[in-house]
A and B are shown apart, each in its own frame.
Chain A
Amino acid sequence: AQSVTQPDIHITVSEGASLELRCNYSYGATPYLFWYVQSPGQGLQLLLKYFSGDTLVQGIKGFEAEFKRSQSSFNLRKPSVHWSDAAEYFCAVGVGANDYKLSFGAGTTVTVRA
């Protein structure tokens, strides 16, 4: 079965600093990979996704992620964090033949300090 690991439970970063969130997956083939963001009490918003092709994908809100097959990783990055980026970030894997139910990592909570 596929699994997703987000090693960092909580990250604190200063506003304007760079951010990197780690995600490792376990799956026999290359799955569909996603990053979602969840603000407190809110739903899940899709930041970006990777299916194939260019391993560096651009998303919304200035985020990007890089797929590295050799490391089974799909890390999320942002060059300069804004206070509004404080939220919980979930990495997810989608696999399936008839549908693509998502398997989520445990999430990383990002705190932004002024």
Chain B
Amino acid sequence: AAGVIQSPRHLIKEKRETATLKCYPIPRHDTVYWYQQGPGQDPQFLISFYEKMQSDKGSIPDRFSAQQFSDYHSELNMSSLELGDSALYFCASSHSDFQETQYFGPGTRLLVL
């Protein structure tokens, strides 16, 4: 079965650079969630989208923005990167009829030097 696709899988950036993470949900899933998992931490909710509209917002820094496109893929844009942004970024998707169940992608590991 098709799963959530995230790209890139690994990313190395310098401080103050920008990064764009992409997420392709499972086909026919219309809801996307972004989570951040710092080293040794549990995943923390950042932001979610339903039908291309932001549906909820968590502890996402103002330096980050995200959107969901017409094909339901989503991008997380991160600017003025800081060392503390180094983390594993997960995307999850769900279908609105079964929104309670999220399926996670493999994650993008971001390292900020």
Contacts and interface: CB of A to CB of B under 8 A. Distances in A.
Interface in B55-72: 55-56, 58
A25 interface: no
Interface in A53-109: 90, 94, 96, 98-107
Contacts of A51: 100
Given A96-B56, A98-B55, A103 B45 contact: yes
Contacts of A100: 94, 99-100, 102
Contacts of B48: 99, 101
Interface string B34-52: 0100000111110010100
Main secondary structure of the interface of B (DSSP, over half): strand
Given A90-B43, A99-B50, A103-B45, A46 B55 contact: no
Interface string B89-113: 0101010000111111111010000
A44 B99 contact: no
B43 A44 contact: yes
Contacts of B104: 36, 43-46
A3 B50 CA distance: 24
B101 A99 contact: no
A68 to B, nearest CB: 20
Interface of A: 32, 34, 36, 41-46, 49, 51, 90, 94, 96, 98-107
11 contacts: A42-B106, A43-B90, A43-B104, A43-B105, A44-B90, A100-B94, A100-B100, A102-B35, A102-B102, A103-B45, A106-B41
